[in-house]
Amino acid sequence: MNEPYVHKIFTGKAKTIGDPDAAKKIDREWTTAIYKKETDGPIWLSKTGLAQDEVGDKKNHGGPEKALFTYPVKHYTYWQEKLGEDNITIGGMGENLAVLEMDEYSVCLGDTYQFGDAVIQVSQPRRPCWRPARRYRTMDLALQIQQTGRTGWYFRVLQEGMVKPAVDLLLLERPMPHLTIAALNEIMYVRKEDLNMAYELSDCELLAENWRKTFKKRLRGKESDTAKRIFGPNK
Rounded alpha-carbon distances, angstroms, from residue 184 to 2, 153, 194: 24, 11, 12
The string of DSSP codes covering 29-72 is: -EEE----EEE-S-EEEETTEETT---S-TTTS-SGGGSEEEEE
* pTM of structure: 0.95
pLDDT score, position 1? 60
Domains of the chain: 5-231 (2.40.33.20)
pLDDT score, position 25? 80
CA atoms within 13 A on the CB side of 118: 26
Whether the Cβ atoms of residue 118 and residue 35 lie closer than 8 Å to each other: no
pLDDT score, position 61? 74
Instruction: Write out the chain's pLDDT in tens, 235 residues.
Output: 688 999 999 999 999 998 888 888 888 898 999 999 999 989 999 999 999 999 877 677 779 999 999 999 999 999 999 999 889 999 999 999 999 999 999 999 999 999 999 999 999 999 999 999 999 989 899 999 999 999 999 999 999 999 999 999 999 999 999 999 999 999 999 999 999 999 999 999 999 999 999 999 999 999 988 888 998 876 5
